Structure 1
Amino acid sequence: MNKITELFKIQYPIIQAGMIWNSGWRLASAVSNAGGLGIIGAGSMYPDVLREHIQKCKKATDKPFGVNVPMLYPNLEEIINIIVEEGVKIVFTSAGNPKTYTAFLKEKGITVVHVVSSSKFALKAQEAGVDAVVAEGFEAGGHNGREETTTFTLIPMVRENISIPLIAAGGIATGRGMLAAMVLGADGVQVGSRFAASEESSAHENFKKAIVDLEEGETHLTLKELAPVRLIKNKFFADVVDLYTKSPTIDDLKRLLGRARAKKGMFEGDMHEGELEIGQIAGLIHDIKPAAEIVKGMMAEFESAKKQMINLN
């Protein structure tokens, strides 16, 4: 048992990230059934769709699972009420102020975790009363902090500043990466990109294949003026780069991004015009496999790497 397995009542300190267009009930229940913590990504779901995913997840697993809620969500109150009504016990909040709903959720007996990208925000989250934080480095896919602090630098800095459990995220897809994060002070890890390329991920097969084919250096953090996001370099990304040469306004960037650009890419499989969010670690992901195998493989590699380290001494 460690702080994270104890907090969530799970077997392994591996949390699957609540990624938009990837993290439906199939992936969340598969990860939870394998001993990790599965998370439904509410960021790409209308309220009624989220309710359906929660209900299906409850039928598919009797293990704990959570919901990730971006605080920028337009129907935030409705989403929070559905989570409470459906009896979800774990909520990960991101992209916003943790004070907004932490006290309310905790009153309902819900464990609250907030995602941060700096020590300053980790402290604010701790002050807001969250049960744990996810500290996510610049390597991560999806929406990132503006500071560009890498996971290896961020984790020990956050550890030095907070006393609550700490989950490391960004660039972790292997058991060795997990061990490294824990040596630096993390109590567990959150894994996104590796689970995006799983059989149960709700992403389009084209996107999963693109992840497996990616090589080092083929993603880039951009659109910092809106919300920093790490993207695969495709036609849409090239259009973004081109627009930046013209000193665009925020409205220009918003117009180019348009609506449902991430859905077009990750969910509908448009590899040219879609917004394809993935982490730098994709260069180490070479296959699409069941979520249970990913969890099992990470834990086996973690234990073996730990033994190797002990033997070195």
Structure 2
Amino acid sequence: MNRICDLLHITHPIIQAPMSWLTDAKLVAAVNEAGGLGFLAPHAGQNSNPSSNDEVLSRMRAEIAKVRTLTDKPFGVPVVVSYDLSLMPRMADLLIEEQVPVVLDNGYLDETLYRRFKDAGMTIICRLGNPNLQDAQKAEALGADILVVTGFDEGGTLPQKEVGSFSVLADFVGKVKLPLMLAGGIADADSVRAAMVLGAEGVYVGTAFIATHECRAAQSVKEWLTQASADDLLLYRTEPYYYRSLPTALGKRLHAMSEEGASRAEIAKLMNGGTGMRLGMLEGDFEQGYVSVGTGVSRINRIVSVKELINQLMAAV
């Protein structure tokens, strides 16, 4: 039995990554029903920025309820759903009250929250934004059940070190007892098989799920993904470290600022938090928004259903 599948009560060791504005109950339920584990995201199911922390919480509670109308299978929610980290304890309260089966910690390693989640019988997945053995061992000691290691091939906020996903994975195999999942550049059966051969027991996938019928990303974004390659991506510095985008007008401007020596803070301000992603990826506004994807985009050539994608990913395992 695969340890990931056993811990999460799923058929295939595949997690659909939370992707800011791009997930909702429909996508999560589709992933669950296809045998993987779906995750709601900070802005799951939403079309506008929240006006308060209370609204962040009420929106998430409502989306959790929607998931449960569509599937009775396990799903997950991150404990960090806002730039305001003071919201974490309140989000933890909500997740425990709602009996969410799986929680994602993006490397904050808060001992009190881990204890609360374990006491509530929740499965904890720790994803280290900057993978290092010291934090991995701390996550294991705190009670994490699964460790996700992320390489520089991912989409979204990139790690500090420019180390590819498979090289990162090699640094952790055999050094922690937790089952490992690999994130970054996983988009087809060959990359899944390679991850498994190198010692991962599952994969954590974002970009490939964007190009599915069930994802709420703009159709123009999905079509662009089927035509794009990693060579098209623009890399630039920002807070906290790096980001990349397909060459939208804003993406080109951010890249140019980085090349010209603008500060990380200046570039982050122009990115406008999650708003730039909402405009680019949810609304298809390529003038004012950016489209963040991982290097696995090279292996996406058509838009498919979630079920077909998961079957494709598992074809060589």
- Normalising to structure 1: TM-score of the pair? 0.90
Give the match's secondary structure for 2:140.
Answer: helix
Q: Structure 2 CA distance, aligned partners of 1:98 and 1:139?
A: 27
2:92 matched to which residue of 1? Answer: 80
Corresponding position: 1:288 with 2:303: yes
Give the AA of the match of 1:280: T
Give the match's secondary structure for 2:270.
Answer: helix
2:25 matched to which residue of 1? Answer: 25
Q: Structure 2 CA distance, aligned partners of 1:242 and 1:289?
A: 34
Worse-matched range after superposition: 91-100 or 263-272: 91-100
Q: Structure 1 CA distance, aligned partners of 2:36 and 2:264?
A: 39
Q: 5+ residue gaps in structure 1?
A: 304-313
% identical aligned pairs:
30
Among 188, 192, 209, which residue is 2:206 paired with?
Answer: 192
The offset of 1:150, in angstroms, is 0.9
Give the match's secondary structure for 1:41.
Answer: coil
1:256 matched to which residue of 2? Answer: 270
**Distance change in 2, residues 1:293/1:98 (3 Å):** farther
- For 1:6-36, what per-residue CA distance to the aligned partner results, in whole angstroms no more than 9, with x for missing partners? 1101111111111111121111110110111
The offset of 1:43, in angstroms, is 5.4
- What aligned pairs does 1:259-278 form with structure 2 within 5 A after superposition? 259=273, 260-278=275-293
- What aligned pairs does 1:37-48 form with structure 2 within 5 A after superposition? 37-42=37-42, 46-48=56-58
Q: Structure 2 CA distance, aligned partners of 1:76 and 1:96?
A: 10
Ranges of 4+ aligned residues in structure 1 off by more than 4 Å: none
Give the AA of the match of 1:109: G
- What aligned pairs does 1:79-158 form with structure 2 within 5 A after superposition? 79-94=91-106, 96-99=108-111, 101-116=113-128, 117-120=130-133, 121-158=135-172
Q: Structure 1 CA distance, aligned partners of 2:266 and 2:185?
A: 31
Contact kept? 1:99, 1:125, Cα under 8 Å: no
Give the AA of the match of 2:226: V
The offset of 1:76, in angstroms, is 2.4
Give the match's secondary structure for 2:292.
Answer: coil
Give the match's secondary structure for 2:40.
Answer: strand
**Distance change in 2, residues 1:178/1:251 (3 Å):** closer
Give the AA of the match of 2:163: T
Corresponding position: 1:50 with 2:24: no
Give the match's secondary structure for 2:148.
Answer: strand
Q: Structure 2 CA distance, aligned partners of 1:72 and 1:185?
A: 33
Give the match's secondary structure for 1:262.
Answer: helix
- Normalising to structure 2: TM-score of the pair? 0.89
- For 1:45-65, what per-residue CA distance to the aligned partner results, in whole angstroms no more than 9, with x for missing partners? 622221111111111111111
Corresponding position: 1:209 with 2:209: no
Give the match's secondary structure for 2:245.
Answer: strand
Q: Structure 1 CA distance, aligned partners of 2:66 and 2:154?
A: 28
**Distance change in 2, residues 1:290/1:245 (3 Å):** closer
Contact kept? 1:72, 1:95, Cα under 8 Å: no
**Distance change in 2, residues 1:200/1:73 (3 Å):** same
**Distance change in 2, residues 1:28/1:236 (3 Å):** same
Contact kept? 1:151, 1:171, Cα under 8 Å: yes
Among 261, 270, 273, which residue is 1:247 paired with?
Answer: 261
2:50 matched to which residue of 1? Answer: none
1:309 matched to which residue of 2? Answer: none
1:164 matched to which residue of 2? Answer: 178
**Distance change in 2, residues 1:105/1:43 (3 Å):** farther
Question: What's the RMSD between the two structures over aligned residues?
Answer: 1.9
Contact kept? 2:80, 2:91, Cα under 8 Å: no
